[in-house]
A = this chain, B = another copy of it.
Amino acid sequence: MSGQTPDPRQRIVAGAADMMRRRGLAAMSVRDLARHAHAPLGSTYHYFPGGKEQLATEAVQFAGDVVARILRRELAAGPVAGLRAFLALWRDVVTGSDFRAGCPVLAVSVEDDAAGDPAPPVVAAAEVFATWRSLLAESLRAHGVEPRDAGQLATLVVAAVEGAVVLCRATRDAGPLDDVAAQLDTLVGTAVRGA
């Protein structure tokens, strides 16, 4: 998700997403990030006057959009195809990083204990999770699954895949994603066929 892009602003955002999915938000500094994205520190602050919070928010949105684009494209072939693409994408992130990278959207969601309103990156994370869930739920409904079941099943897919990514990182093994893939494939396949 951090592929090189010619736009320097975009490259910094992609770099932030990559750092966050590896080590979380608290351990990330704008200085480290500028180095990571091969961008001068001054231009990083120029593009992101809101500093780390603005960067984290845009990085969450960026990662969310990359995944949503893939989901939208693959769901055109039906819920099972979309599910498989979603799982394959996360399996690539985890195994391609030797189990050192996960999901930046999850990362920002577990470091904020502020009272009252959530911080902007967490608001962005909630929106990303809601988008992924909606895409899956809409596809299930379009294939005849009853609305309540479609919504619950879509939540289960997003939650289980996010959780499995964490289990894979902790255990340094892709087994948890493979277990979850096998169970969800059957479940989504049965829901669509039974609809």
Contacts and interface: CB of A to CB of B under 8 A. Distances in A.
B170 A126 contact: yes
A101 B113 contact: yes
A101 B180 CA distance: 25
A122 interface: yes
Given A110-B107, A110-B169, A170-B126, A183 B153 contact: yes
B171 A130 contact: yes
Interface string A100-115: 1110011101111111
A162 interface: yes
Interface stretch (A21-29, A39-47, A66-74): A21-29
B167 A158 contact: yes
A142 interface: no
Contacts of A107: 110-111
**Most B Cβ at <10 Å: residue of A26, A27, A122, A170:** A170
A113 B155 contact: no
Given A106-B110, A156-B184, A166 B162 contact: yes
Contacts of A48: none
A120 interface: no
A182 to B, nearest CB: 5
B167 A180 contact: no
